[in-house]
Structure 1
Amino acid sequence: MACRIGELVLDCRDPELLARFWCEVLDFVVLGTEDDGSIEIGARDGFGGSQPTIFLSKSDEPDPHKPRLHIDVNATDRDQAAELERLLALGARKADIGQTGEESWHVLQDPEGNEFCLLRQRIAPVSAAGS
């Protein structure tokens, strides 16, 4: 009955530069690229595997008044709607950062206002990952 960190999202100007750097530092590989130049890197077992991935989100001008790193979580034992209700009951709040309403994720804030996202895809609990 929990979530797992699926990915860490880092706003950056040069995703390719940071992908090369963090791949070398962590022995990660490029898992995918987006049309806007954003890049996802991670362990060789990929998203939902042994470690969270890092999503390097292309941003021409990262907002200096906003944290450049946020957490994306994935439910491990229930669907997204049920997990959203659980998180709201624990004290999370929905956050509006300009979403269109068509996103497959929910933007939330923890009780102190730190933003995080609840993604749609379920991933295995840590103890079962890679088994």
Structure 2
Amino acid sequence: MACRITELIVDCADPERLAAFWREVLGFVELDREADGSIQIGPPEAGWGGPQPTLLFSPSADPRTGKLRLHIDVNPTDHDQDAELARLLALGARPADVGQTGTESWQVLTDPEGNEFCLLRTRIDPV
């Protein structure tokens, strides 16, 4: 028997803003809104329970302290890393320095709330 990741929960100050950012980054759609202000996004064709995990942005007033212990990696699907980097920066991502040497094949970025994520080089099939 095994488990599968179905959701990733992101505590954040502004679920609306982060959900909008990550919808654009991933090509996801809004799946649900909770009374507490949480917003769930996921793949348009599958939704919750499909082959990809959904993201749930949950409001939290707790400040983030220190480096994240878990981060998201993304790969471009329909163009190269440089073009995807330009697109992500235009959406509101910012470059981040977490001690990289400059020779890495990935780019370290932050989302609009400062959560680190990496843009990898390899282009993959969007499915």
The normalised TM-score by structure 1 is 0.49
Q: Specify the SS of the correspondent of 1:108.
A: strand
Q: Which has the higher contact order (CA 8 A, sep 6+)?
A: 1
Paired residue type of 2:76: A
CA-to-partner distance for each residue in 1:68-103, whole Å, 9 max, x for gaps?
110000011000000000000111000011110000
| Partner residue, 1:81 | 82
Give 5+ residue unaligned stretches, structure 1.
Answer: 1-22, 27-49, 53-63, 127-131
Report SS of the residue matched to 1:102: coil
Question: Which stretches in structure 2 are left out of the alignment for 5+ residues?
Answer: 5-50, 54-64
Q: Does 1:122 align with 2:123?
A: yes
User: How many Å apart are 1:65 and its aligned residue?
Assistant: 2.7
Name the structure where strand makes up a greater proportion of residues.
Answer: 1
Runs of 4+ in 1 over 4 A off after TM superposition: none
Distance 2:52 2:105 in 1: 22
Query: Pairwise mapping of residues 97-116 of structure 1 onto structure 2 (< 5 A)?
Result: 97-116=98-117
> Following the alignment from structure 1 to structure 2, what is the Cα–Cα distance between the partners of residues 69 and 98?
16
Q: Percent identity?
A: 73
Give, in angstroms, the shift of residue 24 of structure 1: 4.2
**Whole-Å Cα distance in 2 between the matches of residues 83 and 89 of structure 1?**
10
Pairs within 5 Å for 1:1-131: 24-26=2-4, 65-126=66-127
Q: Residue 71 of structure 2: SS of its match in structure 1?
A: strand
**SS in structure 1 at match of 2:125:** coil
